[in-house]
Amino acid sequence: MNARVTEIKENQLVVELVAKCDFPKSGTKVSCAVSGGQDSMALLVLAVVAGCEVTAIHVDHALRTDSENESVVVEKLATELGAQFISRTIKVAPGTNLEARARTSRFEVMPQDVMTGHTADDQAETVLINLLRGAGLAGLSGMQRNQRHPILALRRTQTHQLCNELRIQTIDDPSNTDPKFQRNRVRNELIPLMDAISQRDVAAILDRQADILRDDSLLLDELAKSIDATDAKMLANAPIALSRRAIRQWLTENYPPDSATVERVLDVARGITLACEIGSNREVRRSQQRLQIFAK
């Protein structure tokens, strides 16, 4: 163990924070998505302190001037901590849904089980964004507490304090304050307003609510597995909450269908219509009390 890691392990704040995290057992090989911001740099530090064999992965979206130099900051910390380092460069064309497209492209070049530096504050933002999009119970459950999100119990103030105390150089991404991105307005405008109106820490409340709703959602998902979504009669007669979930489970590939699609499939199961579109040039048709997916 090098001197820098020894120093960090003796820091009281680090000791307190790593105890709240959900890292795998010591010696496990893990990958961490590290942008260079304070949350992801804290993730890298805590994963090393937890005893994991860490590979830090930095992805340059080539969207900002000098962005290619940001990987140097991440590599420096990874080297200090004795972690491996990988740099990837991707091209994301300007245009609509830039944030979502950049996220998709970023995760396409990283392992599926890569760890991310999402905190409880990110969880609160995700819940509110999903609420604004009209998401169901699954969306309001936010991100699962698991080893892909090992620092989800930490607050953003704590990850920032960690970086400051350990004198870790970080990268300030100006896009994090750009109001054209919905998440930034939720973070910088909506949540502070909700705090002021309720006179409470709304992020902590939303984080707890997400945990409660996730438990409910997982139970309903398990119950819905008993329903054959291709059996029109069974689907039409089952409790509506379970029917909707059975349809989502049936149709989900990379992403679950939206609520309108689910309702259209229910209309087919009930015999109101004979077929409906479900996206990606596909449709669901009913024949002899069975539902099937066909390419259009």
Give the DSSP letter of residue 115.
Answer: B
C-alpha–C-alpha distance, residues 175 and 173, integer Å: 5
Regarding whether 182 and 170 lie in a shared domain, the answer is: no
pLDDT computed for residue 43 by the predictor: 98
Regarding whether 101 and 46 lie in a shared domain, the answer is: yes
Residue entry with tokens 């995290």: 21
Regarding whether 130 and 242 lie in a shared domain, the answer is: no
Regarding whether 97 and 50 lie in a shared domain, the answer is: yes
Regarding whether 129 and 19 lie in a shared domain, the answer is: no
Give the DSSP letter of residue 81.
Answer: H
Residue-wise pLDDT for 90-99, tens only, equals: 877 666 666 6
Full domain range(s) for residue 182: 121-144+178-216
The number of distinct structural domains making up the chain is 3
Whats the size of the chain, residue-wise?
296
Regarding whether 279 and 211 lie in a shared domain, the answer is: no
Give the DSSP letter of residue 143.
Answer: S
Regarding whether 56 and 14 lie in a shared domain, the answer is: yes
Residue-wise pLDDT for 232-254, tens only, equals: 999 999 999 999 999 999 998 86
The reported pTM is: 0.85
Residues in CB range of 217: below 8 A, 6 or more apart: 137, 138, 141
Residue 59 tokens read as: 């992805």
10-residue mean pLDDT profile of the chain (296 residues): values are 89 97 97 96 98 96 71 95 93 69 80 96 96 85 92 97 97 86 95 98 97 94 96 97 95 82 96 94 95 93
C-alpha–C-alpha distance, residues 19 and 21, integer Å: 6
Regarding whether 156 and 239 lie in a shared domain, the answer is: no
Question: For residue 39, what is the domain's CATH number?
Answer: 3.40.50.620
pLDDT computed for residue 195 by the predictor: 98
